[in-house]
């Protein structure tokens, strides 16, 4: 049963795992009155190495689960799910405001001086028709050259929770260094997990004498777009009055709670209630 959408209802934020927390932090900062439900599909991650149909099926199941919990809007805080499945989610729920994330090719094309932009993303994102169309469009309009780098295995490592491991450092070196060698002066973080290893990426940049490379993350822009959409639909949560409880945050995961709860604590310093669910 889908409840009526009202300004007081929560917003669903969904990712294949903990990566969407890098978007959720911008939503909390920009829209502090909003109640949020975070869904980590960690039991089925990584999406980036699955088929497109698998990701579509998961996205529809998760959207249905969140609608049963009364969400007024959905943020698909996952590049892979946005590229593969946002069309299907919008077609299934035409009245639901849905915001997706896509690799920030447009801001990257505006930022590059060398004309070469490295795009770090999952293999599935970089193969998706929606992404390839975006690349065509932006390179035709700006003449920027996009160097595509699938980062196989990086999401699995970030999901494990420790961001300062030799395995992560080795993967970042393997994926970032060739882009620098090819002249990229701008790197797009095209997966919502990657902002959590930004320090490691910056370490690779420094090691190669390229600390002036610009990193592009669209979490902030996604939160702004969500605010605009809610405002336009008359769905912004009214600011709480004095004495009223502050906005709520609830987490669901399809893997062990022992992965999502520490991620909230370590990545964002938050301690919401987290439940394991079968979806
Ligand atoms: N955070 C997801 C994204 O933005 C990761 C996808 C995956 O699970 O591979 O693409």
Is 130 in the same domain as 203?
Answer: yes
The verdict on whether residue 93 carries a ligand-binding annotation is no
Among 20, 21, 24, 78, say which to mutate for ligand 1: greatest number of ligand atoms within 8 Å of CB.
78
Among 191, 253, 260, say which to mutate for ligand 1: greatest number of ligand atoms within 8 Å of CB.
191
In a domain, 112, yes or no: yes
pLDDT at 2: 45
191: Cβ below 6 Å to ligand 1?
A: yes
pLDDT at 1: 41
Is 200 in the same domain as 132?
Answer: yes
Both structure tokens of 159: 């999901």
151 carries an active-site annotation = no
Q: Which whole number is the average pLDDT over 1-29?
A: 89
Is 97 in the same domain as 19?
Answer: yes
In a domain, 136, yes or no: yes
Is 73 in the same domain as 20?
Answer: yes
pLDDT at 126: 97
pLDDT at 8: 93
Q: Which residue has the tokens 């969400």?
A: 71
In a domain, 4, yes or no: no
Is 72 in the same domain as 118?
Answer: no
pLDDT at 246: 77
Is 110 in the same domain as 211?
Answer: yes
The verdict on whether residue 210 carries a ligand-binding annotation is no
Catalytic residue among 78, 108, 144, 148: 78
Categorize the per-residue pLDDT at 259 as very low, low, confident or very high, splitting at 50, 70 and 90: confident
pLDDT at 4: 62
pTM of the model: 0.94
81: Cβ below 6 Å to ligand 1?
A: no
Range of the domain at 86: 11-101+219-276
Which is the closest atom of ligand 1 to the Cα of 124?
Answer: 9
Average pLDDT, the chain: 95
Is 82 in the same domain as 173?
Answer: no
Q: Does position 80 have pLDDT exceeding 90, yes or no?
A: yes
Phi, psi of 39 (to 5 degrees): -120, 115
In a domain, 3, yes or no: no
Q: Which whole number is the average pLDDT over 134-150?
A: 97
Q: Which whole number is the average pLDDT over 138-151?
A: 97
Q: How far apart are CA 10 and CA 182, in angstroms?
A: 45
Between 5 and 109, where is the model more confident? 109
- Rounded to the nearest whole angstrom, what is the distance from the C-alpha of residue 20 to the centroid of ligand 1? 8
Is 241 in the same domain as 268?
Answer: yes
Which is the closest atom of ligand 1 to the Cα of 78?
Answer: 4
What are the tens digits of pLDDT across the range 86-138? 999 999 999 999 999 999 999 999 999 999 999 999 999 999 999 999 999 99
The proportion of the chain whose per-residue pLDDT surpasses 70, expressed as a percent, equals 98
Is 62 in the same domain as 145?
Answer: no
Is 203 in the same domain as 252?
Answer: no
In a domain, 5, yes or no: no
Judged on CB neighbours under 10 Å (0-12, 13-18, 19+), 21 is: buried
- Domain count for the chain, please give it: 2
Is 165 in the same domain as 208?
Answer: yes
Q: Angle at Cα 170 formed by Cα 164 and Cα 173, nearest 5°?
A: 110
Give the domain CATH number at 75: 3.40.50.1860
Q: Does position 18 have pLDDT exceeding 70, yes or no?
A: yes
């Amino acid at each position: 049963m889908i409840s009526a959408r009202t300004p007081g209802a929560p917003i669903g934020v969904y990712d294949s795992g903990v990566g969407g927390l890098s978007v959720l932090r911008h939503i909390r900062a920009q829209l502090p009155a909003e109640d949020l439900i975070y869904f980590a599909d960690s039991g089925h991650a990584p999406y980036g190495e699955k088929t497109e149909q698998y990701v579509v099926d998961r996205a529809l199941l998760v959207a249905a689960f969140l609608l049963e919990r009364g969400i007024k809007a959905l943020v698909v805080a996952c590049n892979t799910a946005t590229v593969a499945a946002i069309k299907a989610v919008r077609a299934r729920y035409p009245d639901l405001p849905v915001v997706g994330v896509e690799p920030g090719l447009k801001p990257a094309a505006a930022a590059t001086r060398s004309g070469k932009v490295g795009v770090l993303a999952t293999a599935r994102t970089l193969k998706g028709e929606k992404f390839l169309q975006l690349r065509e469009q932006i390179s035709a309009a700006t003449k920027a050259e996009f160097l595509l780098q699938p980062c196989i295995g990086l999401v699995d490592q970030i999901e494990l929770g420790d961001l300062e491991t030799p395995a992560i450092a080795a993967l970042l070196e393997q994926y970032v260094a060739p882009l620098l060698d090819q002249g990229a002066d701008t790197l797009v973080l095209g997966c919502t997990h990657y902002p959590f290893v930004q320090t490691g990426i910056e370490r690779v940049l420094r090691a190669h004498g390229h600390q002036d490379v610009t990193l592009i993350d669209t979490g902030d822009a996604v939160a702004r777009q969500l605010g605009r959409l809610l405002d336009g639909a008359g769905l912004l949560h009214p600011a709480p009055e004095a004495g009223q409880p502050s906005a709520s945050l609830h987490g669901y995961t399809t893997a062990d709670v022992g992965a999502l709860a520490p991620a909230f604590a370590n990545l964002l310093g938050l301690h919401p209630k987290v439940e394991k669910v079968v979806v």
